[in-house]
Chain A
Amino acid sequence: MTLLSRINELFKKELKVVNIGITGFRDDLKSLKVPVIHVEFRPPAGGNTKLLSILKKLK
C-alpha cells in the first residue's frame, strides 16, 4: 500500500467526521445525515496563553 493511496482510500469510504469548533458546521453535516461527532472544545491551560506556550515548549 503506497502512502498516497490513503487519500484515494478515503474517496471510497463513508466520511465519519469529528467537528472541533463551530457548532453550525456540525448542524449542516447532521442535516445531510453525515455521521458526525462534536467535541466540546475548551481552550487548553484554562485559556492562559502564557501557560499554553510553556506547555507547547515542553512537548
Chain B
Amino acid sequence: MRRPRLPRLPHRRAPARTRAGRQLHGGPFTYAVLSLFTAGSLFPLVWTAVTASRDNARLARTPPPFWFGTRLAENAGTAWTEANMGLALLNTLFVAGTVALGTVVFCTVAGFAFARLKFRFSGALLLLTVGTMMVPPQLSVVPLFMVVAELKWTDQLQSVVLPTLVSAFGVFFMRQYLLEALPGELVEAARVDGASSLRVIWHVVFPVARPAMAVLAMLSFVQAWNDFFWPIIALTQENPTVQVALTGLGRGYVPDQSVIMAGALLGTLPLLLAFTLFGRQIVGGIMRGAVKG
C-alpha cells in the first residue's frame, strides 16, 4: 500500500493544493451511484435470462420470479424452431459480417482519398457526404421498397445488405483518423518509389488505418446486427434476421412469454459475448469517434 493520506471531508471546499480533474479518486458516493446505474443497465438483461428459464404459468403470477428456473434449454429450443431463430441467427451473422467488411474496406479507401489525395470537387463531395448523415432512414424506405419489390428481392438478404454496405459516417471517421495518423510524406515516399495506388493502399494505408478499421468494423457490426426499421419492411418471417424474428415473437406469432424471452436472449447473447471479450476496444472506439465527430 501507499502511504496513508489525510482523511478529507466530503463536500467541503477543496484544499487549494488538490489536483482536480481525473487526478481525483472517486469516493464512496461515486461508487454507490455507479453501482446503481450499472445494476439498472444489467438488470433487464439478467431478467431476460431469468424469464427465459421459466415457464409461462410462472410468469403469470405475482410476485415475478427473481431467480433462474430450469426450462431455459427447452424454451430456447422452441424459439429456435418455431420462431426460426436458428436461421435468423445465421442470416444476421452473414448480414452483419458482410456489412462490417464492406463498410470498412470502402470507407477506408474513400476516407484515404478524401484525407490525402487531391482531386476536383473533393471538398464539395465530402460536404455532401457529411450533410446526408442527418437524413433519416425513413426518407428512403419507400423507393427502396419499390426497387426491392421490382427486383423480386423481398425476403432475400441482399435487400438488407446492399443499402447498408457503405456509411457516410464511416468515410468521415476514416478521413479524420487518416488525417492524423497517416503523414502525407509517407504516401509521397511510396509514390516516389514507384508504388501504384493499389500498392499504396495495401502496403501503406491499410496497415496505418488498422486500429480505426477495427473500431469501424465493430461499430458497423453492432449496428447491422441491431438494425430494425428497414429489415422488417424488406424481409418476412420466412427468411428473417434476428430482429425480424423477434418482432414476430413480440407480435404474438408464438404466444408463450417465456419462449419470447428465450428468443430475445438468443438474439442478444452473441453481441453480449462480443462485449465481454472486446468491451475495452468498443468503449475506446466510441469515445474516439465521439471526439472526432
A-B interaction? no
A interface list, Cβ under 8 A from B = none
